[in-house]
Amino acid sequence: MRHYLKSLEDVTSGHSTRESDYDWMMLELFDQTVRGSPGGEMKSYLTDPALSNKDFIISRIGIEAERIWTRDVLPRGHPHLVEVEEKNLAWFVNQLRIELACMLVMIIAGIGAKKSFREGLFRDSGEIHRWMYDRFSLKKLLTKAGFIDVRLCRADESRIPSFNSYSLDVLGKIIRKPDSIYMEAVKP
């Protein structure tokens, strides 16, 4: 929020060079809650050849941006390609099932219903953020759910032994999503 407010202040004070940062902050705040397709407007913004604020974006979302910028040049076995390489027959069967369902919806209810059906599947896929949390609201929610010893962490710290060896939030020394909140709690 501080970065959004700072970029808002900058552009309303006449610093037009910060307009790209302001545009990014608006996308970062809202796109993940309203998008109707994978990547949403963030993906469109990140793939614009005239993009002028790559350093700012990297400071906000880290390697997630680099992943989009370098997707065609990643070496085999790169951590971001593992998810594609590990797709199995069940995944492909599920994709076929979805395509068949979409065709049936279109036959029965028309193209508009097919579009709505597809968007509903997407919105239920987990990519959409249905709520935004800050460190106070997330701690409150975890406590309400019965967790104790809730604490704010860095991306590279945890009470879990050898946590960093799992490469969940940090790959090598690179934080995957520097704009995220990292919290940890104990379930008694």
Residues 99 and 70 both lie in one domain: no
Give the per-residue pLDDT at 74: 46
Residues 108 and 155 both lie in one domain: no
Kindly report, residue by residue over 105-136, the tens digit of the pLDDT.
999 999 999 999 998 999 888 888 888 888 99
In 75-159, which ranges are continuous DSSP H helix? 79-85, 89-109, 111-123, 135-144
Q: How far apart are CA 7 and CA 1, in angstroms?
A: 10
Kindly report, residue by residue over 138-179, the tens digit of the pLDDT.
999 999 999 999 999 999 999 999 998 888 888 888 888 888
Does residue 114 belong to any structural domain of this protein? Answer: yes
Does residue 14 belong to any structural domain of this protein? Answer: yes
Residues 48 and 92 both lie in one domain: no
* Phi–psi pair at 7, nearest 5 degrees: -70, -35
Residues 55 and 97 both lie in one domain: no
Give the per-residue pLDDT at 83: 53
Give the per-residue pLDDT at 87: 73
**102, pLDDT greater than 60:** yes
State which residues form the domain around 34.
2-79
Does residue 128 belong to any structural domain of this protein? Answer: no
Give the per-residue pLDDT at 86: 63
Does residue 130 belong to any structural domain of this protein? Answer: no
Domain total in the chain: 3
- Tell me the pLDDT band of 3, cut-offs 50, 70 and 90: confident
Residues 50 and 6 both lie in one domain: yes
Does residue 129 belong to any structural domain of this protein? Answer: no
Give the per-residue pLDDT at 80: 47
Residues 13 and 60 both lie in one domain: yes
Residues 104 and 44 both lie in one domain: no
Does residue 43 belong to any structural domain of this protein? Answer: yes
Residues 7 and 75 both lie in one domain: yes
Does residue 66 belong to any structural domain of this protein? Answer: yes
Closest CA to 1 of 149, 136, 153, 123: 136
What residues contact 71, with CB distance under 8 A and at least 6 apart? 80
Kindly report, residue by residue over 21-69, the tens digit of the pLDDT.
999 999 988 998 888 888 889 988 998 888 999 999 988 888 888 888 8
In the chain, which ranges are continuous DSSP H helix? 2-12, 19-34, 40-46, 54-61, 63-69, 79-85, 89-109, 111-123, 135-144
Beta bridge partners, 184, equal 151
* 80's tokens: 């971001």
Report DSSP state, residue 96.
H
Residues 6 and 47 both lie in one domain: yes
Does residue 31 belong to any structural domain of this protein? Answer: yes
